[in-house]
Amino acid sequence: MKEDFFEIRQILPEDKIPLQVGLQMLSPESIRQRFFASKKEFTENELKFLTEVDQINHLAYVAVHHLDGKLLPGGVIRAIKDSQRPTYAEIGITIVDSYQGKGLGIQLFNTISDRALQVGLTHFYGQYHTSNLKMTKLLEKFAKTRAPLFLKHTGDGFIYFEAPLKN
Ligand SMILES: CC(C)(COP(=O)(O)OP(=O)(O)OC[C@H]1O[C@@H](n2cnc3c(N)ncnc32)[C@H](O)[C@@H]1OP(=O)(O)O)[C@@H](O)C(=O)NCCC(=O)NCCS
């Protein structure tokens, strides 16, 4: 029987190569929307920072596509606690282009949000480009079952958002 499903789990130190491979699978547009610049590869230090996380101050989850015995990177979400505001965490998410629009983004958001509540967080925050309609839609979907989003145009082509984790 064909194996074809997505697994969502906490990131592991063993995810360094899949993370690097996942970056190569992204379109230049998705890279720009996530990193606000072009990015060809992660350095060793970056990979260590991105995969060796405590899941308390730095939470991170991946989506892995299991396809006929192969494991393919599908996406990653992370939330890093703000040192000035201990109940707020900056959120970043990337779904590989070929998997966008299939609901992985909202699944990752909901999963990391459950963990965030366990570690005392109340809000996610971040910035994205005004052209990023997919992110606007994703945040609106996340907020449907929670308290309303706070959105503010920062005047330089970006939107700053705060997303409460509870109703
Ligand atoms: C933004 C992003 C994370 C969304 O993830 P996703 O897996 O595509 O989102 P989902 O499939 O969960 O969809 C959530 C909502 O977004 C909207 N959406 C998703 N893909 C869309 C597309 N291709 N066109 C229009 N709307 C889309 C839909 O309204 C959807 O809600 P619905 O299922 O009720 O229709 C993804 O597009 C991405 O990784 N983009 C590049 C990186 C980035 O922009 N990161 C955000 C800044 S940190």
* Average pLDDT value for residue range 89-107: 97
Mutate to test the pocket of ligand 1, among 128, 137, 141 (most ligand atoms within 8 A of CB): 137
Nearby residues of 147 by Cβ (< 8 Å), 6 or more positions away: 164, 166, 167
CB-count burial class (<10 Å; 0-12, 13-18, 19+) for 37:
exposed
Helix (H, G, I), strand (E, B) or coil at 150: strand
pLDDT at residue 1 tops 80: no
Residue 138 C-alpha to ligand 1 middle, in angstroms?
Answer: 5
Residue 167 C-alpha to ligand 1 middle, in angstroms?
Answer: 22
For residue 9, how many other CB atoms are within 10 A of its CB?
A: 11
> 4-122, which class in CATH?
alpha beta
Query: Is there an atom of ligand 1 within 6 Å of 63 CB?
Result: no
What's residue 22's pLDDT? 97
pTM: 0.95
Convert 81-108 to b/e letters by CB count within 10 Å (16 or more is b).
beeeeeebbebbbbbbeebbeeebbebb
Mind listing the pLDDT tens digit for each residue in 135-164? 999 999 999 999 999 999 999 999 999 999
Atom of ligand 1 nearest to the CA of 126: 48
Mind listing the pLDDT tens digit for each residue in 5-41? 999 999 999 999 999 999 999 999 999 999 999 999 9
Separation CA 30–CA 95 (nearest Å): 8
